[in-house]
Structure 1
Amino acid sequence: MSKHIAILGSTGSIGTQTLEVVEANPDEFVVDVLTANKNIELLIQQAKKFHPDVVVIACEDKYAELSEALKDEPIKVYAGMDAIAQVVQMSSIDVVVTAMVGYSGLLPTIKAIEAKKNIALANKETLVVAGEIIQKLALENGVNIYPVDSEHSAIFQCLSGEFDNSIEKIYLTASGGPFRGKDKKFLENVTSKQALNHPNWDMGAKITIDSASMMNKGFEAIEAKWLFDLKSSQIDVIVHPQSIVHSIVQFEDGSMKAQMGLPDMKLPIQFALTYPNRLKTDFPRFNFLDYPNLSFESADSKNFKNLDLAFQAMEKGGNLPCIVNAANEIVVEAFLKDEVGFLRMSDIIENCMHKTGFIKNPTYEDYVLTDMEARKMALSML
């Protein structure tokens, strides 16, 4: 039977590639819900092509335009973040693909889990901000969380058939981004245009900047902690410029498993939607002879301080990762507008970590207040 899916953030990089997977497998998937932040033009095109039951635009100012454009379609149209949190609970939905950017994905993910929907998780900030709450809810509701990030999908694939065997360590691979090997003197003057020029992956603007600053890899480490029940000492980051080895699991006997392939997000998206099955694809195949050398380097947390800040937050726990995420979202938005320097972003995040109130065992309400406080603090420092 076809799986009915909701795609939160359908106009972003992960959302559009998810729809490519759906289009390539029309007998496997039915799209019930599409949501977008404010890209109304693309959302309208997607709605007319995939005929979901419901579309939601988060930006309420665009509701009238969206409703008018789809008035001849048998599609319900809603607006606002509350509407997104409600539609994920629809009884017809089997899997919710959470591809919204940043903190905004937290509440809809919580509501989907409470409604016992399996999650294809592309919004890493959900586990960064509130990993303990999310994992507890998933366990209570019998919900599976399937990772969409290529690194976490790689770990998940390596663990297939190994779930009873203890993990000694995981290695998250990082491309190094556009500034691999650069020192602080160079980084002082880089522009957002340079930072958006990722060598291997085609991603949205926010995650591309996070990749350039290594914050993305720090967030992935926190996400891995919750997904695979690890300690920070079991997680390492290594730079692998070719992006062929997507991550590695080392077991307690010393044996290692790696998942490999050309960098293409459609593969982990599809695996998250079809697990435990694999569907035949026409994706390009990796050829070893095209890559005679695969290289690995230590991650540079000295020049890219965000990686170290994320590990500090993971080790201390509480609401500290939430503080880091909120401050990071503010400074990345400012950097994209050329309102703050590349290195200054890390300084602001670190200051917010010291100045925002720490809570050891936060509730959901604490996370909401922490997010607001840290954003306000970061804005005051810009």
Structure 2
Amino acid sequence: MKKVTILGVTGSIGTQTLDVIRNDINNFDIVGISANTNWEKIIPIIEEFKPKYVAMMDREASVKLEKHCREKNYSTEILQGLEGLNYISTLAEVDVVVTSVVGMIGLVPTIKAINAGKDIALANKETLVAAGGLVMEAARKNHVNILPVDSEHGAIFQCLQGNRLENVNKIILTASGGPFRGKSKQQLVEIKPEEALKHPKWNMGKKVSIDSSTLMNKGLEVIEAHWLFGVDYENIQVVVHPQSIIHSMVEYVDGSVIAQLSSTDMRLPIQYAINYPERNNAVIDKLDFYNMGNLTFEKPDMDTFKCLKLAYSAGRMGGNMPAIMNAANEVAVELFLDYKIKYLQIEYIIEKCMNKFEHQTRPNLEEILEIDLRVREYVRNNYDKE
């Protein structure tokens, strides 16, 4: 039986992880879970899965949850803040940590879990984007598996099974194109948050949905793929595939291309990651090839959707530049969702920060965390002065 900690249990990936485990409950034991503020949503999870620990990032939420648990005589211990996340990520009995929190908050708990020898089912893009070199070095040092949960990286991981990395010619990341595929720059000027949140294929959280609409999500995945699979940026290609049936492909030196296909359901890559190297019975709808229709492919428009181009640039520069880009994007997305900036200001803010802050080629963890805070503060203090 695998013992599991889930960081971000009330989010999209977290709830789907619970669904996967629910369908295979005899093989998993959830030891620790975390959430941000939604303490009421934690209560049925405690009742069903009986985790030993719950870490709430928000202090007020943790107090309310602890009071409820005392009244109900639950044995679950309630922890608080980043210290709580770190604690449940490094528990001696835990085998795998599912990191499904969104944003830079996942970086430190993930590194601490790796240093504690835990396998990582990684759904937190920002961890590898901001500190990929440090994370992968720690994984090698501690003999830890980094198991990708993103549908694209999970697909690549499957396409690589039984093959050698030195025989890979190119990684092909597929993208749905988001809700604004085919639109011109001018058509994006007055886009509102509610429009950007309407993803055509995937059910995701707000931040990831906005990133998908700007193609920043695909840019983050390009940087992730570089670190996960050791492939140069010149050999990572993005292809728009609106049907989202092919989740990614690997081209080998002999010209063969291996693709992974499935229905658009995140439970498959989650299931594969937490069960690796085993495969379990399907928790998703299987493909019906007779009724699938056509599969089409397009080149991404990186002039209209400049965030993808900026991500490639940040990745090639390396060092602290991806962390600068990521911090600027996170705050810009928050501001857009709060109706404080326009849609196209997201890419403008990112590019301005990439040009403003000093490029450092070999930052340590403390320096990455410091530049992250500096960029966030700058954007929050200056967005209305542009």
Which TM class, normalised by the smaller chain length?
Answer: over 0.9
1:165, distance to aligned residue in structure 2 (A): 4.7
Separation of aligned partners in 2, 1:358 and 1:283: 44
Q: How does 1:95-106 map to 2 (within 5 A)?
A: 95-106=96-107
SS of the equivalent of 1:177 reads coil
Q: How does 1:169-318 map to 2 (within 5 A)?
A: 169-318=170-319
Q: Aligned residue for 1:69?
A: 68
**Kept in 1: contact 2:148–2:157 (CA 8 A):** yes
Separation of aligned partners in 1, 2:63 and 2:138: 36
Q: Aligned residue for 2:82?
A: 81
**Kept in 2: contact 1:348–1:381 (CA 8 A):** no
SS of the equivalent of 2:201 reads coil
TM-score (norm 1): 0.98
Q: Which runs of 5+ in 1 are unaligned?
A: none
Q: Aligned residue for 1:20?
A: 19
Deviation by residue 1:10-39 (Cα, 9 ceiling, x = unmatched): 000000000000111111111000100111
RMSD: 0.9
SS of the equivalent of 2:238 reads strand
Q: Aligned residue for 2:341?
A: 340
**CA separation of 1:200 and 1:76: change in aligned 2, threshold 3 A:** same
Identity %: 45
Separation of aligned partners in 1, 2:293 and 2:373: 49
SS of the equivalent of 1:171 reads strand
Q: Aligned residue for 2:352?
A: 351
Runs of 4 or more above 6 Å deviation: none
Separation of aligned partners in 2, 1:30 and 1:63: 23
Deviation by residue 1:236-275 (Cα, 9 ceiling, x = unmatched): 1010000000000000111000000110000000000111
More deviation, 77-86/305-314: 77-86
More deviation, 283-292/101-110: 283-292
Deviation by residue 1:158-182 (Cα, 9 ceiling, x = unmatched): 0000135521001100000100000
Aligned amino acid, residue 33 of structure 1? G
Q: How does 1:140-155 map to 2 (within 5 A)?
A: 140-155=141-156
More deviation, 24-33/277-286: 277-286
Deviation by residue 1:195-221 (Cα, 9 ceiling, x = unmatched): 100010000110000000100000000
Q: How many residues align?
A: 381
SS of the equivalent of 1:31 reads strand
1:338, distance to aligned residue in structure 2 (A): 1.2
Q: Aligned residue for 2:46?
A: 47
Separation of aligned partners in 2, 1:330 and 1:47: 32
**Kept in 1: contact 2:33–2:88 (CA 8 A):** no
Q: Aligned residue for 1:161?
A: 162
Deviation by residue 1:90-139 (Cα, 9 ceiling, x = unmatched): 11100000001110000000100010000000001100000000000000
Separation of aligned partners in 1, 2:166 and 2:42: 44
Aligned amino acid, residue 355 of structure 1? K
1:294, distance to aligned residue in structure 2 (A): 0.3
Q: Aligned residue for 1:6?
A: 5
Q: Aligned residue for 1:329?
A: 330
1:49, distance to aligned residue in structure 2 (A): 1.4
Q: How does 1:84-123 map to 2 (within 5 A)?
A: 84-123=85-124
Deviation by residue 1:294-333 (Cα, 9 ceiling, x = unmatched): 0000011000000000000000001000001000110001
Q: Which runs of 5+ in 2 are unaligned?
A: none
1:380, distance to aligned residue in structure 2 (A): 2.9
Separation of aligned partners in 2, 1:236 and 1:283: 28
Separation of aligned partners in 1, 2:166 and 2:233: 19
Separation of aligned partners in 2, 1:380 and 1:56: 31
**Kept in 2: contact 1:356–1:373 (CA 8 A):** no
Separation of aligned partners in 1, 2:165 and 2:132: 22
